[in-house]
Amino acid sequence: MAYIVGEACIRCKFTDCAEVCPVECFHEAEHMLVIDPVECIDCGACIPECPIDAIFFDEDLPIEQQDFIQINEELSKTTPIIVVAKEPHPEKDRYLHVQHKKHLI
């Protein structure tokens, strides 16, 4: 079991969650963050830090976002670890309330 970064993160990419992770399991892709499911210890420290509620326990991930389990797993293998907060994605204001953004990864 692990936490999963869902669709809301795409093109918003707030990074406060990565800074509080005790095991450095967040990875930074171009347009979103992802969680390495192998490294995640299910502590939940990241949940209250995400201002857009983009992080879910895998069992609570909405059915329409189940693809993000695989997306997190795959992208975490090819993207760098992020451990400090950075500025959000430059297009965050434009995409903050947009739904169905998976094609923008």
- The model's pLDDT over 6-23, given as tens digits with 9 standing for 90+, comes to 999 999 999 999 999 999
CA 38 to chain centre: 15
- Among residues 2, 1, 4, 15, the alpha carbon closest in space to that of 63 is found at 4
By percentage, how much of the chain surpasses pLDDT 70? 100
Helices and strands (H, E) in the chain, number of each type = 3, 4
**Whole-prediction pTM value?**
0.96
Does the structure show a pLDDT above 80 at 61?
A: yes
CATH architecture of 3-83: 2-Layer Sandwich (3.30)
| Residues 68/6, Cβ–Cβ less than 8 Å | yes
Does the structure show a pLDDT above 90 at 1?
A: no
Helix (H, G, I), strand (E, B) or coil at 11: coil
Q: What is the mean pLDDT of residues 34-56?
A: 97
pLDDT at residue 84 in the model: 96
Any idea how long the chain is? Answer: 105
Average pLDDT, the chain: 97
| Residues 54/8, Cβ–Cβ less than 8 Å | yes
What whole-number distance in Å separates Cα of residue 88 and Cα of residue 32?
A: 9
